[in-house]
Amino acid sequence: MRTGSLHLPGGYDPAADESFYSAPKLSALDLECLVDSTRLLIGHNWRVDARFMASNSSEFVDWAFGKGASIGESIAIIFYPWKDSARTAKIATLWLGTWHHAPLVAWASDAGSGSNVKIEPLAEYIDLIH
């Protein structure tokens, strides 16, 4: 689902030439916001949340992202076992990045433990953040 949160590095200007080789990084506060939004999904009753309602994944993507997504936007992802759809198995918040920043994912592999949220860059884009 769309979280409605935008995180842009301070001083980031996508039109500036400097952004191609030294784009500013997300602040510690922005990173903590990603972790907090992931923690908020723990125990979230997604089955009654209208933002997750759709008959299939294609319908959901058209409904939620039919007009595209903004740079710096974050989205929430909830994983659950197909046999027990009432139980959340994994949760994540994906920061989509910017023109010059790789996407980041904040995730918890055990939805019962809110203290163990990790932030990692997506491996395919690792060259963009060094």
Cα 80 from Cα 117, distance rounded (Å):
17
* Token code pair at residue 10: 């301070």
* Token code pair at residue 89: 């198995």
Looking at residue 87, its pLDDT comes to: 66
Cα 121 from Cα 130, distance rounded (Å):
11
Q: Structural domain boundaries of the chain?
A: 2-6+25-129
Angstrom CA distances, 91 to 20, 24, 61, 80, stand at: 32, 27, 18, 9
Looking at residue 21, its pLDDT comes to: 79
pLDDT tens by residue, 95-124: 988 888 888 888 886 655 556 888 887 777
Looking at per-residue confidence, does 105 or 88 come out higher?
Answer: 105
* Exposed/middle/buried for residue 37 (C-beta within 10 Å: 0-12, 13-18, 19+): buried
pLDDT tier for residue 129 given thresholds of 50, 70 and 90: low
Please give the average per-residue pLDDT across 28-44, as a whole number.
87
Please give the average per-residue pLDDT across 33-43, as a whole number.
85
For the entire predicted model, the pTM comes to: 0.77
